[in-house]
Amino acid sequence: MKQNKINSNTLLLLITIALFVVMYMVGCVIYSSKGFTHLQTFLNILINNAGLLCIACGMTCVMLTGGIDISVGSLVAMDCMFLAVGMEQWGMNAGLLCVLVLLIGVVFGLVQGFCVGYLEIQPFIVTMAGMFFARGMTAVICTDQVSISQNEFFVGLANMKFEIPFGAYTNSKGVLQVPFIRLPVIIALVVLVAVFLMLRYTKFGRSLYAVGGNEQSATMMGLNVKMTKLKAYMLSSFLCSVGGICFCMNTMSGSVRQALGLEMDAIASAVIGGTLLTGGVGNVIGSFFGVLINGTISTLVKTNGKLLSSWSSIAVAALLCFFIVLQSVFAKMKDTKK
Amino acid sequence: MNKLKKVTGMALFLPIFCMVLVMAVNIVYDAASGNFAFNFFTISIRNGVLYGRLIDILNRGSEIAILAVGMTLVVSASAGTDISVGSVMSLAASFCCMLLAGYGVSSTNDLAVPLFVGVLGGVLMGCLCGAFNGFLVAYLNVQPMVATLILFSAARAIGLLLCNNLIVYVRNDSFKFFGGYAGFMPTPIIIAAICVIITMVLLKKTALGLYIQSVGINKRASRIAGLNSAKIIFVCYVVCGLAAGIAGIVGASRISSADSNNIGLNYELDAILAVALGGNSLGGGKFNLAGSIIGAYTIQAITTTLYALGVSSDVAPVYKAVIVIIIVTIQAPPFKAYMKRLSARRALAKGGAAA
Amino acid sequence: MDNQVVLTMRGISMTFPGVKALDNVDFTLREGEIHALMGENGAGKSTLIKCLTGINAFESGEIHVEGIEGPVVNHSTLDAQKKGISTVYQEVNLCPNLSVAENLFIGREPKTKLGTIDWKTMVKRAEAIMKDLDMSIDVTQNLEEYSLALQQMIAIARAVDMECKVLILDEPTSSLDDNEVEKLFRLMNQLKEKGVGIVFVTHFLEQVYAVCDRITVLRNGQLVGEYPIEELPRVKLVAAMMGKDFDDLASIKSDESPVFRDEDILIDAKGLSHKGTIKPFDLVIHKGEVVGLTGLLGSGRSELARVIYGADKNQTGTLKINGKEVKINAPIDAMNLGMGLLPDDRKAEGIIGDLSVRENIILALQAKRGMFRLLSMKEQIELADKYIEMLQIKTASRETLIRQLSGGNQQKVILGRWLATNPDFLILDEPTRGIDIGTKTEIQKLVLKLAKEGKSIVFISSEIEEMLRTCTKMAVLRDGAKVGEITESLTQETVMKAIAGGGSNE
């Protein structure tokens, strides 16, 4: 009985890791001619999803409290648009803009967190309003698509390559290909490690678990539940802005339609990674694998070349559905055991 | 003071108050811009059909009103909202147009199948989506918004697949009817009215309303008292999907096409806002359908007014998001408690001054 | 003799909308005493404690804590804790998804030099605490792995470890069995010796006399008095709580015991079971019979009733009603066969809080009639008025929301709901829990009256005396199995013996 219980949570994580491995292996077998087996393919998944990883880390924190944040996709769009317009049309300093974007994230999260924590409004409603607000504000800044090309500093940052000392190979033209990662990956990995340590070793991190486990108890035990929630949403929006900057380094543009459905990817990553929707259980390591699975799916769809891109969002949705059902089944099993 | 409280405490105070506010803004705007001050209320007949801003609001607001019917039931029974309605609208429209035009055809003047088959198909697709949501929520106990999030993002993608990534145009007069005119009356108004009346009658003549509220307030107790709680929640979601299907077909008929990326865009926000504006708590339980319907038309009035004031459709959600937050803040218990304390303190101060 | 006073509350008053919850109440706690706070439901015990711990804000009065200058006002439980006042509530207020060690130290975790949580020290200290209390458990396991009773003990351990001067135990024993209560009492006495002042709130009179030194009695938000335990025998305590002499409950049952014939069998259950909770059991219930289900908490007495009713589906066995075999998949099936269940958890499974008294009364009947045969408003009003009058439900009107009623009146509304369906067979699971003694008597009288009308009743209560007064037969449960039936010589002694099972419980 005791052993059983521990497994149900770790089991979800194991399923996730296994799923990733299987999915990747299948890709390797089917698309080996298209270079799927090279290390760079994996690194590209990391590069393309660095922003998502940051966002998923923030999402995990919010979901641990039993909440959710669906404003992230729109917030990323707003960040990108702000960066693009700021650099291209207002000619502002890229560094300053990044700081401003992070600040916007914090303030945005502060308002959402206040509504959820202190006004006790359902997180979904609050962040849904946030979602439409941010998307609308993107249009307020500019309704056209704006590309970033003139700001040398930012372009330089985005093009920075960090080569990996192993896994190099010679391609068909006889050119040596050294695998590399880009700046966003480093940022995202730093975020991942930082959030992991925070969840394990700080009072705030443990409070997130406590609030998600039993809110009333957390209050009774003297934790400031309202403040914890507020901080969680602030953290989510802040990390989302960090992710937005990473995202922008990949797309190098801003548009109203950008990052549509990104909230879905972030939530799916967290859920696939074993974070319970009811809160209290989960870890960013799981979310990391969730992001990898997400990235693998879109890479598979892209590598195929014939499939419509809608397939990848349908696949992610189906996977999310599968894991939600799995969670629900586990929860039911736990109930009957009692 | 007491009278004021009585008025503000009335069930339909909030939606009616907002409606009056919007009208006032319109009157002021018209007067300020040198038009006839009551332009808003003028109804005339042009080219044999009704014409006027009020009619326009009633017409354009039909989809929201239809969605609001389903959304009200879902909110009441499951204390959560269905955020997939906009996407489901689009999916239903895509499926309907795909049936009418045939798979892979991007534009047609002739129908590939009889009209009713296409329409029925679209509506059934809506029901199917509702059933999917309902199954997750009612039988697997998934939080409503997470469950509906799946279709929120997947339904449009599925719609695109059904249409082979095309915008399917159905340029056929019989299909245009649903978004066009029945005589001098815009058809959507009639469709919305029928939906609302049928639901009202159902609620009045059967115990459905009692069942839904009872389940929404206390699911377990309702089960012990003999209600099939899961089934009732399930039915609510199916009705919500049905409503989304009908709204989707009206939307598609208006533009004679299935544009997956634009039909029903941001409608989930409007529908939820309609329910909240109608004075219903988003926490489930008791509901007031009439409030939601008035709320729906109020939203459309706000949208129309915003457009009239020169706000673009991309920016309009900003205002609505702010309105949502204001309304739910007013409903929030901590806010109510704070206001009570504030007024008590004020009364105390007044009493002190008098003494 | 009088020890030093650690806590005084003077002239505490507070009002809830429309009700004076506390009216000028005094309370004094001395060092090293166990002080019972007694009163009927709604007397203001919880409110007084909530004022002390900062959950409710009181309007007037003063609180003084030893060692702190001036009057104390707490704004939160944390505030109270910092001033040495710890509380353990009826429901376990810990986080099930965290480890035992974390639950003990959350909010005051040992830190390393870097300011991060020092897990090693935390686990070590947690193990030490558990060892002190004679509990050998793995503190790194999640709390949800352990039984409710253990969780309760851990909650108390947490409160004790915070070096409190005042420990408040709010109904801590309601989820514990006798053994565990014994353990708790030992712990309380240990603390008492260390000089901690303990406030003990409970419904169980025996427990008060087992450990307490002093009793403070509240009634309707007012202080009745403070008494040393020797000066207040049981009868006087009850009188003080109720404000009138004890209604002679013992006499409500008639002496003649009815005889039941085999033709009158209403319910005949054979081998019913529910996976994980109830082992296969047989049970026969006659028309007009009141059957008691007894056993310790967690013995499966509620679960057994729920299996018959179909609230939890039976896995094996057959159920015959009036000799006909029936299949029950959901409560509505049971209702159509003439059953009704008054669940033990009134708030979670009984009332529909935001609906009116009228709607709550007609709900079950409406469910039975089906969705399309709506009761007309006239019928609804008639039904509601009938049961409000018959059960003497105290409500402002039939349209008052049920959640605004007191616990006892809510219970009566639920009873009315079932009587409205005119059942042949009623299951009453803890119908008297958490309601005042006056209403308890009324409900017991009603049970006997219904039985006389030929209805069969299953009665479940944790108070054996209550069952002795009402039941003609008792089924005894232990660990999810029915272990016996007592029909003759129903006395406290025989029942107790059957429950305990000849010491095999050790």
Q: Does B145 touch chain A (CB under 8 A)?
A: yes
Give the three-state DSSP class for B191: helix
Residue C17: the pLDDT is: 58
Which pLDDT score, from 0 to 100, does residue C505 have? 36
Contact list, C102 vs chain A (CB under 8 Å):
206, 210
How far is the alpha carbon of A55 from chain B, nearest alpha carbon, in Å?
Answer: 17
**Average pLDDT across chain A, whole number:** 88
Q: Given this model, what pLDDT does residue C433 score? A: 73
Q: Which one of A70, A120, A278 has the shortest CB-CB distance to B333?
A: A120
d(CA C105, CA C127): 12
d(CA C362, CA B82): 30
Question: Residue A53 corresponds to which tokens in the numbers above?
Answer: 């990883």
CA distance B336 to B330: 7
pLDDT in tens, C372-386: 889 999 999 999 999
Host H or E run for residue A159: helix A152-159
What's the rounded Cα separation, in Å, for the pair A151 and B94? 42
Q: Which one-letter DSSP state was computed for residue C401?
A: B
User: Would you say residue C205 has pLDDT above 80?
Assistant: no
How far apart, in Å, are the Cα atoms of C236 and each of C37, C41, C203, C245?
Answer: 15, 18, 16, 8
User: Whole-angstrom Cα distance, residue A34 to residue B18?
Assistant: 60
ipTM of the complex, rounded to two decimals: 0.84
Higher pLDDT, B171 or C299: B171
Tokens of C342: 């008054």
Instruction: Return the SS3 of A31.
Output: coil
pLDDT at C2: 56
Structure letter (DSSP) for residue C117: B
Q: Is the CB of A45 inside 8 Å of chain C's CB atoms?
A: no
3-state secondary structure of C259: coil
Rounded Cα–Cα distance for residues A249 and A244 (Å)? 9
Tokens of A66: 């039993």
CB nearest to B329's CB, from A121, A138, A328: A121
Does the structure show a pLDDT above 90 at A109? yes
Structure tokens of A52?
């998502």
Q: Which residues are within 8 A (CB) of A137 and not within 5 positions of it... i.e. 6 or more apart?
A: A78, B318
- For residue B277, which of B8, B9, B64, B16 has the smallest C-alpha distance? B16
pLDDT tens-digit readout, A48-99: 999 999 999 999 999 999 999 999 999 999 999 999 999 989 888 889 999 9
The whole-angstrom separation of Cα A288 and Cα C405 is: 51
Q: Does residue C113 sit at the A interface (CB-CB below 8 Å)?
A: no
The DSSP code for C3 is P
Amino acid A134: pLDDT:
95
Residue with tokens 């009228």: C358
Q: Is the pLDDT of residue B4 over 70?
A: no
Q: What is the pLDDT of residue B92?
A: 96
Q: Round to whole Å and give the CA distance between B306 and B313.
A: 9
Confidence band of C506 (pLDDT split at 50, 70, 90): very low
Q: Least CB-CB distance to B161: which of A125, A308, A332?
A: A308
Question: Can you tell me the mean pLDDT for C398-416?
Answer: 87
In the predicted model, is pLDDT for residue A33 greater than 90? no
Decide: pTM greater than 0.90: no
Burial class (CB in 10 A: 0-12, 13-18, 19+), A317: buried
Which residues in chain A have Cβ-Cβ distances shorter than 8 Å to C155? none
User: In this predicted structure, what is the pLDDT of residue A117?
Assistant: 93
Q: How many CA atoms lie within 13 A of A284 on its CB side?
A: 27
Q: Judge: B225–C364 Cβ closer than 8 Å, yes or no.
A: yes
CA distances from A323 to A271, A283, A319, A326, B134 (A): 7, 16, 6, 5, 17
Contact B318 A317 (CB under 8 A): no
Q: Indicate whether C297 pLDDT > 80.
A: no
B residues 90-129 closer than 8 Å to A (CB): none
pLDDT tens digits along C90-135:
777 788 889 999 998 887 888 888 888 889 999 999 998 888 777 7
Distance CA B324, CA A185 (A): 37
> What are the pLDDT digits (tens) for C267-295?
888 888 887 778 888 998 998 889 998 87
Domains with residue ranges and CATH for chain C = 5-249 (3.40.50.300), 250-267+287-313+326-500 (3.40.50.300)
Strand partners, B97: none
CA atoms within 13 A on the CB side of C27: 34
Q: What is the pLDDT of residue A118?
A: 93
**Tokens describing residue B259:** 């544009």
Which DSSP string do the residues of A83-116 spell out, in sequence order? HHHHHHTS---HHHHHHHHHHHHHHHHHHHHHHH
Q: What is the pLDDT of residues A250-298, one digit of tens each?
A: 999 999 888 888 888 999 999 989 898 888 889 999 999 999 999 999 8
Task: Give the Cα separation of A144 and C460 in Å (integer).
Answer: 71
H/E stretch holding A126 reads helix A123-141
What's the whole-number average pLDDT of chain C? 83
Structure confidence at residue A1 (pLDDT)? 35
User: In sequence order, what DSSP letters do the residues of C8-57 get, joined into one string?
Assistant: EEEEEEEEETTEEEEEEEEEEEETT-EEEEE--TTSSHHHHHHHHHTSS-
Structure tokens at A133: 């607000």
Task: Look at residues A127, C258, C294 and name the one whose alpha carbon lies nearest to residue B269.
Answer: A127
* Percentage of chain C exceeding pLDDT 70: 91
Residue in B206, B222, B228 closest to C372 by CB: B206
Q: Locate B256 and state its tokens.
A: 């004679």
3-class secondary-structure state, position C266: strand
Nearest to A20 by CA among A207, A275, A299, A332: A299
pLDDT tens figures, A112-161: 999 999 998 888 889 989 999 999 999 999 888 999 888 888 998 888 88
Q: Which of C416, C394, C414, C415 is nearest to C405 (CA)?
A: C394
Do C299 and C477 form a contact (C-beta atoms < 8 A)? yes
Distance from C-alpha of A309 to C-alpha of A195, rounded to nearest angstrom? 32
pLDDT at C501: 64
Residue C80, SS3 per DSSP: helix
Residue C255: pLDDT over 80: no
Q: Is the pLDDT of residue A8 over 70?
A: no
Question: Is any Cβ of chain A less than 8 angstroms from the Cβ of C15?
Answer: no
Q: Is the dihedral of CA A231, A237, A240, A244 positive or negative?
A: negative
Domain positions in chain B: 58-264+284-289
pLDDT band of residue C53 (cuts 50, 70, 90) is confident
Asked if the model's pLDDT at residue B265 lies above 90, the reply is no
Average pLDDT over residues B132-139: 95
Tell me how close the Cα of A190 comes to any Cα of chain B, in angstroms.
Answer: 29
Nearest chain B Cα distance for residue A119, angstroms: 6
Amino acid at B21: L
| pLDDT (average), residues C240-265 | 62
CB A279 within 8 A of CB A64: yes
Residue in chain C closest to B208 (alpha carbons) equals: C371
Judged against a pLDDT cut of 50, whether residue A2 lies above it is answered with no
In angstroms, the CA C99 to CA C432 distance is 36
Distances, alpha carbon C366 to alpha carbons B49, B206, B209, C383, in Å: 47, 10, 12, 12
pLDDT confidence band for B347 (50 / 70 / 90):
confident
C65: tokens are: 């804590």
pLDDT tens for A212-250 read 988 888 887 878 899 999 999 999 999 999 999 999 999
- Mean pLDDT lowest among B93-102, B344-353, C196-205: B344-353
**Could you tell me which residues are beta bridge partners of residue A161?**
A182
Q: Is C368 on the interface with B (CB under 8 A)?
A: yes
Can you give the three-state secondary structure of A207-267, one letter per residue? HHHHHHHCHHHHHHCCCCHHHHHHHHHHHHHHHHHHHHHHHHHHHCEECCCCCCCHHHHHH
Report whether pLDDT(A3) > 50.
no
- Residue C503 is predicted with a pLDDT of 41
Is the per-residue pLDDT at C248 higher than 90?
A: no
* Pick from C31, C30, C21: nearest CA to C55: C21
- For residue A212, CA distances in Å to A68, A208, A232 come to 12, 6, 11
CA dist., res. C241 & res. C229, Å (int): 15
Q: What is the mean pLDDT of residues C141-162?
A: 81
Instruction: Return the partners of chain C (3 or more C-beta pairs < 8 Å).
Output: A, B
Pick from A276, A234, A274, A271: nearest CA to A126? A234
B339 and A CB contact within 8 Å: no
A216 φ/ψ angles, rounded to the nearest 5 degrees:
-60, -45
Q: Is the pLDDT of residue B329 over 70?
A: yes
* Residue C491 reports pLDDT greater than 80: no
Please give the distance of CA C106 from its chain centroid, rounded to a whole number: 28
Structure tokens at C26: 């005094």
Judge residue A176's burial from the number of C-beta atoms within 10 Å of its C-beta, 0-12 exposed, 13-18 middle, 19 or more buried. Answer: exposed
| Helical H segments across C83-133, by residue range | 100-105, 119-132
The pLDDT value recorded for residue A4 is 44
Nearest chain C alpha carbon to B286: C354
Query: Quick check: C170 and C46 in contact, CB under 8 A?
Result: yes
Residue whose tokens read 């089917």: A30
Q: What is the per-residue pLDDT for C478?
A: 79
Distance CA A256, CA A141 (A): 9
With residues binned 3-state (H G I as helix, E B as strand, rest as coil), the percentages for chain B, rounded to 5, are 70, 5, 25
Cα radius of gyration (chain C): 25
Among positive and negative, which fits the CA dihedral A40, A45, A50, A51?
positive
Q: Count of CB atoms within 10 A of residue C263's CB? A: 8
Q: Rounded to an integer, what distance in angstroms lies between the CA atom of residue C397 and that of residue A292?
A: 61
Residue B84 has pLDDT above 60, yes or no: yes
How are the residues of chain A apportioned to helix, strand and coil, as percentages rounded to the nearest 5? 75, 5, 20
